[in-house]
Amino acid sequence: MSDDASGGELRAHTVRLELVDEPGELLNALEPIADNGGNLLSIFHERGSLTPRGHIPVEVDLECLPHQLDAIVADLRESGVNVIRAGTERYGEEVTVLLVGHVVETDFSETLSTIESDAAASVVDVSLSAPNGTSDVSSARLRLATEPGKTGEVTEAVREVAERKDLQVVEPLTELEGSA
């Protein structure tokens, strides 16, 4: 890989996006990449599958300098594109939590959006169970990705959303300090 005059090194990055299923959305998502000097390597547009919010997952492999990746991600978010993951270093830790209660009736989509925005986390995977119908008690397993060292903040944000919506949270077990 070559070095830039500013001392940065060109690197390959993977950016995972969620796009609304409307004409022109993919093109709109690619413009910030080109505008910030990113070089497209590949695009995987998963038109046949949907994310938990009903959007289309798109994975873009690109090559750019580290500062360019930051600008690309910022411009994508500013244009309304949901960035799930950008590079491997950005979201290096994951935490899984379980929400139990009237998960669906308390606007599950809004719950996910709030967790992502308040916790600087990304919803990587969701499993929803409503054995007696969506108007009864249901549960959702959320796998959340976050920056290294931010797992506690993510868990706290989940607790706050759950408390506001009268949901129970089953948190991951953590090792007690000083235990063997």
CB count within 10 Å of CB 7 equals: 7
pTM recorded for the entire structure: 0.53
Same domain, 48 and 107: no
Same domain, 98 and 166: yes
Considering the domain boundaries, does residue 2 fall inside one?
A: no
Same domain, 76 and 108: no
Print the domain residue range for 123.
93-170
Q: What is the CATH number of the domain that holds 99?
A: 3.30.70.260
Going by C-alpha positions, the residue among 42, 46, 48, 41 that lies closest to residue 17 is 46
Domain count for the chain? 2
- The tens digit of pLDDT for each residue in 129-170 reads 989 988 899 999 988 877 777 888 889 999 999 999 999 999
- The tens digit of pLDDT for each residue in 33-55 reads 999 999 998 888 877 777 767 78
Considering the domain boundaries, does residue 46 fall inside one?
A: yes
Same domain, 84 and 126: no
